[in-house]
Amino acid sequence: MPDTSCHMAISVDGFVAGPDQSSEHPLGRGGHDVHAWHMGDPRATEADAAATSWLMRPRGAYVMGRNMFGPIRGEWDEDWRGWWGPEPPYHAPVYVLTNHPRESLQMEGGTSFHFVTDGFDAAYAQAVEAAGDADVGIAGGASTVRQALAAGVIDELTLHIAPVLLGSGERIFAGAGSFGFEPVEVLHSPLSTHIRYRRAG
């Protein structure tokens, strides 16, 4: 049966994005340091390369929050087409959670963005249908991952824990009553400890 997986880079004090997210600081202030392991840092090791291959493994569809798609709030700026340029790295349908309707976007390389206004469950159901026999990815950000965890749909959760303190920002476990996963693989480097968890039982 296909898996639903999620990868999140996280600081040691539990934040997946720093404070003051904006178009200049899409990961918040200091947030880039949490992602250095897969963003060309010369200290990256074979462990980081292996974890990057986990992250970039093709999925059949994705669910993403509006904050991850872009910094715009309220009504859409129709010129905004995501952070990634004309060919985003997903190469599959991506279902974006939003309160504001927008027409779907077809990008180069097979990525399409579809904007879902009726909540996480609806977006996830569309992603599962679109993926068919392939896996589904929960792409983030923090709010979307919290909703996926609350819905109990994540089979595999990989945390990339960077030796960085952000102090404040976005947490994925805010309000969580339990964890429900057990570690099955650990890799580490000076930039991150990569822990792959599977749902317990």
Could you tell me if 17 and 141 are in contact, meaning their C-beta atoms sit under 8 angstroms apart?
A: yes
Q: What is the pLDDT of residues 30-82, one digit of tens each?
A: 888 999 999 999 999 999 999 999 999 999 999 999 989 998 888 998 899 99
User: If you average pLDDT over residues 150-160, what whole number do you get?
Assistant: 97
The closest alpha carbon to 103, from 94, 113, 111, belongs to 113
pLDDT at 33: 93
pLDDT at 200: 92
Predicted TM-score (pTM) of the model is 0.94
d(CA 15, CA 93): 27
Handedness of CA 165, 167, 171, 173 (dihedral sign): positive
Could you tell me if 145 and 67 are in contact, meaning their C-beta atoms sit under 8 angstroms apart?
A: no
Domain boundaries, the chain: 4-18+26-70+88-199
Pick the CATH number of 4-18+26-70+88-199 from 3.20.20.10, 3.50.50.60, 3.40.430.10, 3.40.228.10: 3.40.430.10
pLDDT at 1: 67
Could you tell me if 85 and 109 are in contact, meaning their C-beta atoms sit under 8 angstroms apart?
A: no
Residue that the structure tokens 């093709």 belong to: 58
- Structure tokens belonging to residue 94: 């991506």
Contact partners, residue 32, CB within 8 Å, separation at least 6: 39
Could you tell me if 91 and 20 are in contact, meaning their C-beta atoms sit under 8 angstroms apart?
A: no
175 pLDDT band, cuts 50/70/90, is confident
Tell how far CA 86 is from the center of its chain: 19
Taken as a whole, the chain contains a residue count of 201
